[in-house]
Structure 1
Amino acid sequence: MTAPDLPAELKAALDAKLHGLSRNDAAERASLISKTYRDGGNSGAIKTETDALAYALARMPATYAAVTASLNALREITPHFAPTSLLDIGAGPGTASWAAAEAFASLKEFTLLDANAALRALALDLGRDSTRLRELIYQRGEARALLAAAEPADLVIASYVIAELSDAERSALAELIWAKTRDTLLIVEPGTPAGYARIIALRTQLIASGAHVAAPCPHDGKCPLTPPDWCHFTQRLPRLRAHKHIKGAELPFEDEKFSYVALTRAPVTQHPARVLAQPAVSKVEVSAKLCTAEGLALARIPSRTKPDYARARRWRWGDAVEQADIER
């Protein structure tokens, strides 16, 4: 999977914000904010413009990569989906909106919701000179209150936000988000067992409310995975110079682990299997763990079936695989 780099307009806007910024101060702030999130806190730790920029430098590339990978999987399953309106829940600095704008040229209306004033101000600054996002609407306030008055959108995204809510709040918000989804809802969370558990809980709840799974699952049934296994994917992304400095990293890349689910109003017409881990490739065969419409399967593609073997060698973790390409 191609590494999704930040759009040129967004990188230019971030670079412009870096002038005069103390990189060491930003790194310290990003570290404190990251610790707050790890300890169960929320975006309340982001209080100033510098906090918001430090957070964006540390997390925007990885969040953008995960949302882009999820949207790419959705587009592969629903190639004719052409949304014109987006509702971005818990938008933060606007990362998911930038990813959606890149994924769907059809998008015309961008509505962002978040309670954090510093992140809202940064998002508006970053989008000011964008050809696609300069007309975005960013409403600040508590999500449920804003959603109650919001217009439904073709595409609704809630990325890296539901972890900040209690179970009861999460369930109530999910129903309200689904009510505002005209066609497709995408939920993205960290690729941890806890993030996966939140995804599965909302998936179960919304299927009971009439939703259908587009990706990554090839079915609307119960997830066949059992602990300690969990469904997650990984996306490699390049690190910008400032990104490396903020994170105190030497490598020019990082791997973001994420879990996601894309839900649609109408059943999808195709349900390919999904590769759940990086396949093992040998001279004898390609072996891959798959989630299929019938449940889990271990596909073994022998090298003697040269065309099938050649295709299987190109499989990557997270790919959709047509049932015709699988030999069990």
Structure 2
Amino acid sequence: MTSPDLPAELKAALEARLQGLSRNAAAARAAAISKTYRDGGGSGAIKSEIDALAYALARMPATYAAVTASLNALGEIRPDFAPASLLDVGAGPGTATWAAADALPSLQDFILLDANDALRSLALDFARSSARLRNMNYEPGQARNLLAHAEAADLVIASYMVGEIGDAERRALAESLWAKTRDTLLIVEPGTPAGYARIIALREQLIALGAHVAAPCPHDGKCPLSAPDWCHFTQRLPRSGAHKQVKGAELPFEDEKFAYVALTRAPVAQRLARVLAQPDLTKVEISAKLCTPDGLAIAKIPRRAKADYARARRWRWGDAIIEG
């Protein structure tokens, strides 16, 4: 599996761009940009090189970790998946492209789309440190306009961008994303109830257009969860000194909560149950909430069933498992 930590060359490129930059100024800009996102705004708040660097320092590690975790989950279900081309929509500083390049050695062609000039400039600068990415094609402009003329790709990724657009445009964008998907579409959103709701709405829309779910769901049916519950996962990632400073954090790690769906043109061969929360371990049994091909289930594995109990002790939130 690919590590949730940023690749060495990307970390080095980011550190190089931070030389001479006031960390206090970067922290202030990162806080302002984060507030804009929380208030329903988007990347329009990122206007300058300092803005782009502050955003990258604050958000690239977590976004990279979430996309990597999603791609690792997809790889468990489809170990033979070997796409040659990637279309990264709403690419920002190129985080999802770096994650895909690291997780999928088969990728050769990288096309990125985004309207933010500051983030695009930073992404191109970072890409110069990578032999695989330095010749990537990064098109500036609004996603839907660019998608109309873009070539289809084996893998299409839209990470942390669907929430920046309205409901009506979101449905149209989803159709455009699917139209450009030769094989697999991966959508990643924040692991909030609102992020989950967007994922579920797009999942339902695209299944109606013929898509099949590869991960995290082991079925193409309606999500069995009901409010206030929602499907999301978490990925722990290390924090650098600069990352801690710009985030105003003391812990050496961060837990990124995310929601995702991977949709494919053809149905997947295996349907594995998904662990939807960290299992509850007691001296008597292990209890785990699972999404199964038949719907929601609470698995209870008694301690006396030694082999099954030992196996269940290794289950972690987000794992794909074989029941029984």
Pairing of 1:179-258 with structure 2 (within 5 A)? 179-258=179-258
Matched-pair identity in % = 77
Structure 1 partner of 2:125: 125
Q: Is the CA contact (8 Å cut-off) linking 2:85 and 2:154 kept in structure 1?
A: yes
* Residue 283 of structure 1, CA deviation: 2.1
Of 152-161 and 280-289, deviating more is 280-289
Q: TM-score, normalised by structure 2?
A: 0.99
Structure 2 partner of 1:97: 97
Q: Partners of 1:3 and 1:115 in 2: how far apart? A: 29
Question: 4+ residue runs of structure 1 moved beyond 4 angstroms?
Answer: none
The answer to whether residue 314 in structure 2 is matched with residue 321 in structure 1 is no
Alignment partner of 1:318: what SS? Answer: coil
Q: Is the CA contact (8 Å cut-off) linking 1:3 and 1:238 kept in structure 2?
A: no
Structure 2 partner of 1:307: 307
The answer to whether residue 64 in structure 2 is matched with residue 64 in structure 1 is yes
* Residue 3 of structure 1, CA deviation: 5.8
Q: Partners of 1:18 and 1:165 in 2: how far apart? A: 31
Q: Partners of 1:35 and 1:164 in 2: how far apart? A: 14
* Residue 132 of structure 1, CA deviation: 1.5
Alpha-carbon displacement from aligned partner over 1:306-326 (angstroms, at most 9, x marks no partner): 111111000000000112x3x
Q: Supply the RMSD in Å over aligned alpha carbons.
A: 0.9
User: Size of the alignment, in residue pairs?
Assistant: 324
Structure 1 partner of 2:76: 76
Alpha-carbon displacement from aligned partner over 1:96-126 (angstroms, at most 9, x marks no partner): 0000001000000010000000000000000
Letter in 2 for 1:113: L
Q: Do the aligned partners of residues 131 and 2 (structure 1) sit closer, same or farther apart at CA in structure 2, a change above 3 Å counting?
A: closer
Alignment partner of 2:148: what SS? Answer: helix
* Residue 184 of structure 1, CA deviation: 0.2
Q: Is the CA contact (8 Å cut-off) linking 2:89 and 2:157 kept in structure 1?
A: yes
Q: Partners of 1:116 and 1:4 in 2: how far apart? A: 25
Q: TM-score, normalised by structure 1?
A: 0.98
Alpha-carbon displacement from aligned partner over 1:168-190 (angstroms, at most 9, x marks no partner): 00000000000000000000000
What runs of 5+ residues in structure 1 fail to find an aligned partner?
none
Structure 2 partner of 1:30: 30
Q: Partners of 2:150 and 2:226 in 1: how far apart? A: 38
Q: Partners of 2:310 and 2:26 in 1: how far apart? A: 47
The answer to whether residue 33 in structure 2 is matched with residue 52 in structure 1 is no
Q: Partners of 1:301 and 1:24 in 2: how far apart? A: 51
